[in-house]
């Protein structure tokens, strides 16, 4: 029995695919920032995008490449206990670089929210003070520390502590970098908070749509790298169906591969079948949670848009909703910020998130 090649596509949130479509320049900029001296602006970067645009994957990819350059990376999600998790990972990954005293010192730390205790009676300290000591020892051995934080929230006290501490690390010219990722609304709210205003000077990168050329290249390279081929017309269908959406690219490739894995070439029919499977997954995994997070008025605005072909005049949508154009413009701004819709020519909008028009038209959210 012939052993079939493993499916190389990775439609799992955060899993780095063999070919990361359309993000090479961004990754290169950040890695050059790590290679540069402390103070490079790429060392404080925020990835902003809707669900499924590849934020978590990008964090993971940069962390992996940073470690290849000799950096230590700690990778956390913005949740209660995040500061403790940073210390735990630092101990695990940098034990060979820290003095026994510092390693032991860090081992005794217990962070409770933003509170701070030790298992032994010691002189008073803070999370920042102990991290400064540990980072100093890493830097003495020509090793930098990269901290990545996913799913950032403006309501996180621990994130405020981290950002405030990072600001001091930068002022002290420590070899550190901080990468954050979050949904547009959460990032905007976070930046507006006085306690985290330092982030206003961070580089912000919107997770833009991936070009059809980059999409086709990534799928083709992934398929051929795993020992199969793919028809040109199948690539075109995939590029069109993905609409430049990172997660959807992986879904399409994954399902196309599964149709006839014993064959040497993925055909047009394979990809057409993959589109149907990928649509169901998008509905369940991306569109449903996105729509469920909307306000009643935001959903009404989108439903009005879905009734016709775009681009849509905002004044017409206001008329359908029975509200003033000024109120419709405010709703429009919130939906653009969430990257569900996008501005077209003056006074017009259209959908940016793939498949959401069909999702709304078919009433899947009811």
Residues 128 and 49 in one domain: yes
Span 218-232, pLDDT tens digits: 999 999 999 999 999
> pLDDT digit string (tens) for 195-251?
677 788 889 998 988 999 999 999 999 999 999 999 999 999 999 999 999 999 999
Tell me the pLDDT tens digit for each residue of 328-342.
Answer: 999 999 999 888 998
pLDDT band at 113 (very low <50, low <70, confident <90, very high): very low
CATH of the domain at 254: 1.10.8
**Is the pLDDT reported for residue 72 higher than 80?**
yes
Same domain, 201 and 217: no
In sequence order, which ranges of the chain are alpha helices (DSSP H)? Answer: 24-35, 55-68, 82-94, 100-107, 127-140, 157-171, 184-192, 212-225, 232-242, 246-259, 268-282, 288-292, 296-306, 314-321, 325-337, 356-361
CATH number at residue 52: 3.40.50.300
Over 50: is that where the pLDDT of 187 sits? Answer: yes
Domains identified in the chain, total number: 3
Output the CA torsion 250→251→256→261 (10° steps): 80
Distance CA 301, CA 349 (A): 11
* Res. 2 pLDDT band, cuts 50 70 90: low
Domain assignment of residue 18, yes or no = no
Mean pLDDT of 9-25: 88
Span 306-358, pLDDT tens digits: 988 889 999 999 999 999 999 999 999 999 988 899 888 889 999 989 999 99
191 and 109 in a common domain:
yes
Which residues form the domain of 269? 212-290
Residue 9 covered by a domain: no
Q: Is 303 inside any structural domain?
A: yes
Residues 262-309: pLDDT tens digits? 999 999 999 999 999 999 999 999 999 999 999 999 999 999 999 888
- Co-location of 51 and 199 in the same domain: yes
């Amino acid at each position: 029995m012939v052993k079939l090649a493993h499916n190389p596509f990775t439609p799992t949130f955060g899993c780095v695919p063999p070919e990361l479509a359309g993000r090479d320049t961004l990754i290169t900029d950040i890695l050059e920032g790590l290679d540069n001296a402390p103070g490079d602006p790429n060392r404080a970067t925020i990835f902003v995008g809707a669900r499924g645009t590849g934020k978590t994957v990008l964090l993971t990819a940069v962390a992996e490449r940073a470690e290849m350059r000799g950096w230590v990376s700690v990778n956390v999600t913005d949740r209660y206990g995040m500061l403790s998790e940073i210390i735990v990972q630092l101990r695990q990954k940098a034990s060979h670089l820290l003095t026994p005293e510092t390693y032991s010192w860090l081992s005794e730390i217990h962070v409770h929210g933003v509170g701070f205790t030790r298992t032994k009676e010691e002189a008073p300290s803070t999370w920042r003070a102990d991290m400064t000591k540990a980072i100093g020892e890493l830097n003495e051995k020509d090793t930098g520390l990269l901290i990545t934080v996913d799913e950032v929230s403006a309501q996180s006290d621990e994130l405020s502590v981290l950002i405030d501490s990072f600001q001091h690390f930068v002022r002290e010219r420590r070899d550190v970098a901080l990468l954050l990722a979050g949904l547009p609304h959460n990032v905007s709210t976070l930046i507006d908070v006085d306690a985290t205003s330092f982030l206003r000077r961070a580089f912000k990168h919107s997770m833009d749509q991936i070009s059809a050329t980059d999409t086709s290249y990534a799928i083709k390279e992934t398929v051929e790298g795993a020992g199969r081929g793919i028809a040109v017309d199948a690539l075109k269908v995939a590029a069109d169906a993905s609409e430049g959406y990172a997660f959807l690219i992986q879904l399409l490739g994954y399902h196309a591969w599964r149709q006839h894995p014993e064959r040497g070439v993925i055909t047009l029919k394979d990809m057409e079948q993959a589109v149907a499977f990928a649509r169901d997954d998008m509905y369940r995994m991306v569109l449903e949670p996105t729509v469920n997070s909307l306000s009643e008025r935001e959903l009404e605005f989108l439903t009005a848009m879905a009734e016709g072909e775009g681009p849509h005049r905002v004044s017409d949508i206001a008329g359908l909703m029975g509200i003033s154009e000024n109120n419709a413009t405010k709703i429009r701004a919130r939906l653009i910020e969430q990257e569900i819709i996008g501005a077209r020519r003056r006074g017009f909008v259209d959908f940016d998130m793939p498949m959401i028009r069909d999702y709304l038209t078919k009433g899947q959210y009811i």
